[in-house]
Amino acid sequence: MKTIQGVFIVACVALAVLGSSARAQEAKPPGNAAKSQAAPNATSVPAYSGMYTFLKEGEFVQVTVEDEGHVTGFISRFGDGESDKGAFLDQFFKTGKLDGNKLTFTTDIVHGVAFDFKGTVERGEGKNPGDEAYFVLKGTLTENTTDVNKKLTSHSREVTLKMFPQDAEPAPTARK
């Protein structure tokens, strides 16, 4: 009886491994297909999706461009208030849109603070795709702060947020 249970368990594990391997292969295009899909051409949207610097060292904005110019993402920043000073806060986009190279987004309110960005995505000083600052977000960032008395204060500033460098695609390993 133990032998039958052992064979059954091994068969279940083998099926699970084969199934997950097949799904992983379906999800990833083979070889150069991934590169050709990621490379922008005249009819596709440039690869603006990525992580960009934010206001302070260690803070960043994650921008993901989806179908039809819909943009999702979040800001990860350090809190500035008395209750969250130095704490890492994530503020997800409530709305986001890319129209050509014009980008706008608004974040959810976290600890009384929300951000609005209106600007453009432009080529930066990076020489090659994947280099630091290959793309930059240039525009007006407005910080909206609500105090305990529900008084809203807005502070706008011009910003240039640089795209973080992207790791090069790992070289494919030979299978035997």
Domain range for 14: 2-27
Residues 153 and 86 in one domain: yes
Structural domains counted in the chain: 2
Residues 131 and 94 in one domain: yes
Band (pLDDT 50/70/90 cuts) for residue 5 is very low
CATH number at residue 102: 2.40.128.30
Element holding 34 (H helix, E strand) = helix 33-38
- pLDDT at position 46 is 66
Verdict on whether the full-model pTM lies above 0.75? no
171 within domain boundaries: no
Residues 85 and 133 in one domain: yes
Residues 114 and 60 in one domain: yes
pLDDT per position as a tens digit, 126-153: 999 989 999 999 999 999 999 889 999 9
Structure tokens, 39:
């490379």
Q: How far apart are CA 29 and CA 35, in angstroms?
A: 9
138 within domain boundaries: yes
Residues 22 and 105 in one domain: no
Residues 19 and 58 in one domain: no
With residues binned 3-state (H G I as helix, E B as strand, rest as coil), the percentages for the chain, rounded to 5, are 20, 45, 40
42 within domain boundaries: no
pLDDT per position as a tens digit, 100-129: 999 999 999 999 999 999 999 999 999 999
Residues 76 and 23 in one domain: no
Q: How far apart are CA 34 and CA 3, in angstroms?
A: 45
Residues 70 and 123 in one domain: yes
Residues 91 and 147 in one domain: yes
Structure tokens, 102:
């014009």
158 within domain boundaries: yes
